[in-house]
Structures are given as structure tokens and as C-alpha cells.
Amino acid sequence: MSWNSDQLFASKKQDWRTPEYVFRYFNEIYSFGLDAAATPWSATCTNFITPKEDALSIDWSKAYPNVHAIWLNPPYGRGLGAWMGHCYEMASAGNQTIAALVMARTDTRWWHDYCMRAQTIYLIKGRLKFLDSIGVAANSAPAPSALIVWKNPPPMSVKNTQYSPQFISCKIERNS
């Protein structure tokens, strides 16, 4: 199956749910207290921000001062750069760890502007199957996924004064 650029950069459906085993794998590492991009049926955490509440207009550290780690599977499309920018800003301004599950699109501006400023980038082996509103797994995603994790302060390369995230390859088993 081939994918055209519209399919790779946008999704008609913006509220795919993260497979539970994927969230559970990373939650064991970070203990998330907020899902910053969710609907009531897709939320991975007790605390969550809905599209109506507009997560991009909220200072997460002020609105959720007792949450130390934030998860999000942002809506994928041309607006993803704004989400990545907000994640980076929230991590840089506060004491929260921010983790965003996105397609590993290393050819995009948002990847280089924001993901490459992360502390850790988990490259997930294989293609994830996100869930629809009734919990049924869809076809595999059209690109590989990565979890981008920002912490304050972000790491810097001493030699080049460039950001140098740690890359971790991970295979997440359904029963993990």
C-alpha cells in the first residue's frame, strides 16, 4: 500500500486512542498525571484536557501544578507543529516532564525545531495500531512512531552547542 502526502500529514480522524499497552509501558517509567490531548473516551489519565478546553491555550504547569509528568497523543495533521512547540515551551518553562507520542517524521520542520530539543526520543519498533472510538484497532499507522520526552533543562552538546537528545530504540510488547 502506498501513502500520498495528504495521508502522511493529516488524518480525517483526530482522536485516535493510544493502545493501552503502549501507554502502560511509558507510564511505568514516568508516572503520568495528565493527558493533555484527550477526549473522555480516549483519556489515558484521570486528569485530561479536551479539545473544547484547548490545551494549546493553557499553561500546564499553572493549571496542574501537582502533576510532574504529562502525556499526550496529539491530533495529527498540519497543526502538529503548534503542539510540539507548546510541549517544548511547557517543559522549558516549568518543572514538568512532557511526553508526546507522534509519528517519527524526521523530515519535518517541527521535528527539527522541537523534537531535536528533547531530552529523550524513544524510537518505537514496528507500526502501532491506534484505536477508534469503540476500541477497535485500526490499520497500522502510515509511519513509525516515537515518544518525545522533554525535561527542563534540555540537554546540550558541549562540542557543537546543539541539542543532543538520547535516542532509545524500544520494542513494546502487547503484554508489557
Answer yes or no: is 110 within a domain. yes
Q: What is the pLDDT of residue 135?
A: 64
Residue 94 domain boundaries:
12-170
**The C-alpha cell that represents 74 in the structure block:** 496529539
Q: What is the pLDDT of residue 9?
A: 43
Residue 122, helix vs strand vs coil? strand
Q: What is the pLDDT of residue 143?
A: 77
Q: Give the H/E segment covering residue 72.
A: strand 69-72
Answer yes or no: is 146 within a domain. yes
CATH of the domain at 40: 3.40.50
Q: What is the pLDDT of residue 7?
A: 43
The vertex-20 CA angle with 154 and 153, nearest 5°, equals: 5
**Which residues, in sequence order, are CB contacts of 168 under 8 Å at separation 6+?**
120, 121, 122, 123
Q: What is the pLDDT of residue 128?
A: 81
Answer yes or no: is 114 within a domain. yes
**pLDDT < 70 stretches in the chain:** 1-15, 130-142, 153-163, 175-176
Q: What is the pLDDT of residue 60?
A: 97
